Amino acid sequence: MRVLITGVAGFLGSHLAERLLMEGHEVLGVDDLSTGQQRNLKRLGRYSRFSFLRADVRQPLEVEGPLDWVFHLASPASPPRYLKLPLETLLVNAEGTRHLLDLSLAKGASFFLASTSEVYGDPLVHPQPETYWGNVNPIGPRSIYDEGKRYAEALTVAYYRVHGLPIRIARIFNTYGPFMDPEDGRVVSSFIVQALKGEPITVYGDGSQTRSFCYVDDLVEGFLRLVEVDYPFPVNLGNPEEYRVLDLACLVKELTGSSSPIVFQPLPEDDPRQRRPDITLAKQLLGWEPKVPVREGLQRTIRWFKGAVREADA
């Protein structure tokens, strides 16, 4: 296949691209490098079937040649990043999604939307199935990402209903692994970097809020299984094993052998109290569930971060 991946210099985009390249496909990667990492492009540049286009998908793309799939992964995804780029985040999920849907139509390509568990907001239903409509504050600080993705889902399904465009929608829960941006402010990367540097590990609130953590290889496998089925509605992809944030901090301390103290800061506005996917649909439809235990995945991730931190300090 020849596929286009937006957000290719990001954490998930680069992992998806590398998996497809390893399987022999041709990948055209697109990124404006506002939050993506040059190290990810360097890694992908080893493959002769990879090409890169620096572009902002908030503007229409001109792409030569055929495409089989368009994977839309472009968007700031961590709260610190999208809070710094509110208008950009809204527009990449609104106008960017529209331009890429139009490109898919023009090329006769199928369209894959990387959505998010953030569409569930601060959920009142636990765990969250795809049938749950969510509890989102539409004007809160996190709404720029939450509502941006909700709109992207609505627009994608509208193109399916109006134009018959083949679509897939993955609702991604917290994912971690090697090649995360050490400075993206997400809980796993922040805890690991703080622990490795001997800095205080910052837990917001009392740490009783829960999250689920899926290793990146498992998530990419879910993506590729979703591509293979004809199902045009959202599918949860995440690890149903639930962790308190404080327990995750303690586990990172243990695995890094760090003496960092754990410190507590006020909980940000609209921060979800709980988050856990119901993956019944993914099991039935895709035969998919995560295989990598959190402890093992964190060990792999920490090994990579040790090198990244040394490189940054050099």
134, HSE (Cβ side, Cα atoms, 13 Å): 17
CA distance 234 to 238: 13
DSSP 8-state secondary structure symbol assigned to residue 228:
T
Contacts of 264 (CB under 8 A, 6+ apart): 202, 203, 204, 205, 206, 207
Find the largest Cα–Cα distance for the chain: 57
Which residue of the set 82, 145, 215, 243 is catalytic?
145
Contacts of 194 (CB under 8 A, 6+ apart): 200, 201, 202, 260
Instruction: Reduce the DSSP state of residue 72 to 3 states and report it.
Output: strand
What phi and psi, each to the nearest 5 degrees, are found at residue 135?
Answer: -140, 80
CB atoms within 10 A of CB 61: 18
Q: Is 145 a catalytic site residue?
A: yes
The residues that are catalytic are 145
